[in-house]
């Protein structure tokens, strides 16, 4: 397979996120201060269970209306413009889990009100009604590359001339469904994640996250220039052990750099094998580019991570400082891992990556004036 990326420049007109640390600016500030949002909490919420690292906006137990709705209301208030969900201003909603926490809640308390938002379509139709969005809504669910895929689709709609602006909205809030699932895979345990660290046992944390971006064909100071995608289809929860999947995606996005000086915001959940393969691939294809992950603080915000972390990146660029790998520790699996914050002014671009089940890889090149 020849590595190739889609060159689809799109201007970022607006972008923000919501994490347990606050909006994008507050989150970037907290990361620069080395704060961790993750705290050890029972894996099944009120039902108890082992303590695992979770970064939550409130408590994990589902409510009616769903616990993520007030957070989404706050986020959506910041979206500029209107008439989203119409032909020239389509909307893309992405999530890994949508309202599946409500289905879990239904199986516990049998309250039928949970079912109003338990499936992706019901969840999105509720949001359309709540926020006055139109019918032109793309709904994507590709596990933890969902938000990233939404940005690709937005760029494609713009470049096909089918849209003037595209709104991408993403959210994933942790529920016992997903925490219990990752716990059953033994990668959500009592240890706080230390992305890219060489240690005996890997671990991840999970976090609540939501974000939006308005993309446009107009020239803007911040742009997503290109995307690279690859799906290994080797194993449901593992990557090819030779790192070929990471290599294919890293090689494809590296071609788009064209002399820019970049740093890399990696996926870096805290798993050992995937972290090492990712770090090695980017050290090989982008030698000298610092690599950071913020999931040691925010946890893995699942399907929303690609856009949540884009918003945090933009906030970091505004402050002039890029947060380091919070929670990371030496020795790291490559020398490129940046544990401390660094100045952003020496760079004119960044690579942002996401990964998902099935060996899904996504990378984008962000550039700025």
Binding interface with other proteins (CB under 8 A): 1-2, 4, 6, 44, 47, 49, 86-88, 90, 96, 100, 103-104, 106-107, 112, 115, 118-122, 124-125, 135-143, 149, 152-153, 156-157, 160-162, 176-177, 180-186, 229-237, 245, 248, 357-360
Residue 99 or residue 344: which is nearer to other proteins going by CB?
99
Asked whether 17 and 24 are in contact (CB, 8 A), the reply is: yes
Residue 256 or residue 325: which is nearer to other proteins going by CB?
256
Q: Given phi > 0 = left and psi -120 to 50 = alpha, else beta, which region is 98? A: left
CB of 51 to other proteins, least distance (A): 15
CB of 115 to other proteins, least distance (A): 5
CB of 141 to other proteins, least distance (A): 4
CB of 315 to other proteins, least distance (A): 29
Q: Provide the sign of the torsion angle of the four alpha carbons 125, 174, 58, 115, taken in this order.
A: positive
State the CB neighbour count (10 A cutoff) for residue 241. Answer: 10
d(CA 296, CA 44): 21
Residue 149 or residue 168: which is nearer to other proteins going by CB?
149
Residue 234 or residue 260: which is nearer to other proteins going by CB?
234
CB of 343 to other proteins, least distance (A): 35
Residue 177 or residue 282: which is nearer to other proteins going by CB?
177
Give the DSSP letter string of 237-276: S---TT-HHHHHHHHHHHTT-TT--EEEE----S-HHHHH
d(CA 369, CA 289): 19
What 3-state class would DSSP assign to 137?
A: strand
């Amino acid at each position: 397979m020849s590595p190739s990326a889609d060159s689809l420049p799109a201007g970022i007109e607006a972008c923000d996120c919501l994490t347990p640390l606050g909006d994008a600016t507050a989150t970037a500030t907290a990361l620069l201060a080395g704060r961790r949002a993750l705290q050890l909490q029972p894996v099944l919420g009120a039902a108890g269970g082992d303590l695992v690292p979770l970064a939550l906006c409130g408590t994990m137990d589902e409510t009616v209306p769903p616990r993520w709705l007030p957070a989404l209301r706050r986020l959506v208030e910041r979206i500029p413009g209107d008439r989203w969900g119409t032909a020239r201003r389509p909307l893309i909603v992405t999530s890994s889990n949508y309202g599946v926490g409500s289905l879990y809640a239904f199986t516990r308390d049998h309250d039928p009100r949970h079912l109003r938002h338990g499936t992706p379509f019901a969840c999105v139709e509720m949001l359309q009604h709540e926020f006055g969005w139109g019918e032109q809504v793309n709904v994507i669910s590709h596990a933890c590359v969902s938000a990233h895929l939404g940005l690709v689709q937005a760029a494609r709609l713009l470049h096909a001339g089918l849209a003037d602006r595209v709104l991408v909205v993403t959210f994933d809030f942790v529920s016992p469904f997903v925490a219990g699932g990752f716990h059953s895979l033994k990668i959500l345990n009592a240890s706080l994640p230390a992305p890219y660290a060489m240690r005996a046992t890997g671990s991840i944390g999970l976090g609540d996250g939501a974000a939006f971006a308005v993309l446009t064909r107009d020239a803007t100071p911040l742009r997503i220039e290109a995307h690279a995608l690859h799906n290994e289809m080797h194993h449901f929860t593992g990557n090819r052990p030779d790192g070929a999947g990471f290599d294919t995606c890293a090689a494809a996005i590296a071609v788009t750099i064209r002399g820019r000086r970049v740093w890399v915001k990696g996926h870096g959940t805290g798993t050992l094998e995937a972290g090492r393969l990712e770090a090695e691939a980017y050290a090989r294809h982008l030698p000298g580019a610092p690599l950071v992950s913020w999931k040691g603080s925010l946890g893995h915000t699942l399907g929303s991570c690609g856009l949540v972390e884009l918003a945090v990146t933009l906030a970091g660029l505004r402050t002039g400082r890029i947060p380091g790998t919070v929670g990371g520790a030496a020795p790291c699996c490559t020398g490129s891992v940046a544990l401390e914050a660094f100045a952003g002014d020496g760079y004119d671009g960044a690579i942002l990556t996401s990964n998902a089940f099935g060996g899904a890889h996504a990378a984008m090149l962000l550039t700025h004036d």
